[in-house]
A = this chain, B = another copy of it.
Amino acid sequence: MSQQAQMTDEQLEKRKAMMEAQDEAVREGLEVFRNKILVMSGKGGVGKSTVAAYLAVGLAKKGFQVGLMDVDLHGPSIPRLLGIKENISSSPESRKGIPISYLPNMQVMSIESLLGDKDTATIWRGPLKIGVIKQFISDIEWSHSDYLVIDCPPGTGDEPLTVAQVIPDTKAIIVTTPQEISLADVRKSINFCKQVNMRVLGLIENMSGLRCPHCGKTIDLFKTNGGALTAKKAGLPLLGSLPLEPDIVVEGDNGTVKWMEKRGLPYTASFAKIVDTVADLTK
């Protein structure tokens, strides 16, 4: 064999050893989490990030230790939804990144908190994204946690596939709107979970009806009940239905979660029930 071929072999060995070391670090990093929940959707814009962010906050407010990991590398929404402006710092001892402390018992990690200019486009191809998602676990100092909530970009591409392969015992929550065009994509997500052997905790129907703030009557903008029917057909639990609520849209834009204290709001009551159900299903 020529010297060049030998060098390539050596380089390959080194590369293999490096990747094995990272995989080991990922395995170790995951051990701190008792439950991993992947919030996914077939279609974008159904409120997946909102559900992931508020589910993490809801579980934390119930007293659980929660980590929230935003693996939407092209359009991260979590920092804005939660009003997070800080950047990730790093620990002088472990040389790992320290996630942002949103509540005393809740940490957040997002690509947005690593970028200087928030309007920068993350133009990354698939293989690079796999590496970044692995680093979000191996190179980040997560505290011991009851839940790791993962916000994934829509669809069935590199990011959810990487989560399924890298974080083996993840359970999925699928978010949808009641429109048929969204439900068609939900069925794809359910099939994706079957193919990669990921347990689905249930479906959440978002944007399910809107009450006119002027006359009080209900407008079925994206229809209603479609999520419930799809869940039933697939033999999956419907974790809850959330109405469209203009106040929640405003709070999302402003990065506040004051609605959580407004017990009279239908959205608040429905969301509290979802958090309780998820806690029960993962006890």
How many copies are assembled? 2
Name the distance in Å between A209's Cβ and chain B's nearest Cβ. Answer: 12
Contact between chains at A191 and B158 (CB < 8 Å): no
The listed residue with most B CB atoms (<10 A of its CB), out of A118, A127, A155, is A155
Say if the beta carbon of A212 comes within 8 Å of chain B: yes
Known: A161-B125, A249-B221. A45 touches B42 (CB 8 A): no
Interface readout for A151-175 with B: 1 if CB under 8 Å, 0 if not?
A: 0011111100100000000000000
Say if the beta carbon of A253 comes within 8 Å of chain B: yes
Name the distance in Å between A236's Cβ and chain B's nearest Cβ. Answer: 14
Complex interface residues of chain A between 81 and 109 (CB less than 8 A to chain B): 81
Report chain B residues within 8 Å CB of A219. 210, 212-214, 246
Complex CA–CA separation, A228 to B106 (angstroms): 37
Report chain B residues within 8 Å CB of A199. none
Contact between chains at B249 and A188 (CB < 8 Å): no
Contact between chains at A192 and B156 (CB < 8 Å): no
Stretch at the interface among A17-25, A30-38, A133-141, A177-185: A177-185
Q: Which B residue sits closest to A81, measured CB to CB?
A: B181
Q: Which B residue sits closest to A154, measured CB to CB?
A: B44
Q: Which B residue sits closest to A162, measured CB to CB?
A: B125
Say if the beta carbon of A220 comes within 8 Å of chain B: yes
Contact between chains at B122 and A156 (CB < 8 Å): yes
Name the distance in Å between A123's Cβ and chain B's nearest Cβ. Answer: 5
The listed residue with most B CB atoms (<10 A of its CB), out of A157, A179, A190, is A157
Complex CA–CA separation, A220 to B43 (angstroms): 23
Say if the beta carbon of A1 comes within 8 Å of chain B: yes
Q: What size tier do the contact residues of chain A reach?
A: 35 or more
Report chain B residues within 8 Å CB of A252. 179, 181
Say if the beta carbon of A46 comes within 8 Å of chain B: yes
Stretch at the interface among A54-62, A72-80, A262-270, A274-282: A72-80
Complex CA–CA separation, A124 to B157 (angstroms): 6
Interface readout for A211-225 with B: 1 if CB under 8 Å, 0 if not?
A: 011110101111100
Complex interface residues of chain A between 238 and 257 (CB less than 8 A to chain B): 244, 246, 249-250, 252-253
Contact between chains at A42 and B75 (CB < 8 Å): yes
Report chain B residues within 8 Å CB of A129. 126, 157
12 A-B pairs besides A125-B158, A210-B210, A220-B246 with CB distance below 8 A are: A2-B5, A44-B75, A75-B155, A118-B184, A120-B188, A121-B188, A123-B157, A125-B161, A126-B126, A180-B253, A212-B214, A223-B250
Complex A-B, nearest 8 residue pairs according to Cβ-Cβ distance, in ascending order: A44-B44, A45-B45, A126-B126, A74-B155, A215-B215, A121-B192, A119-B187, A214-B217
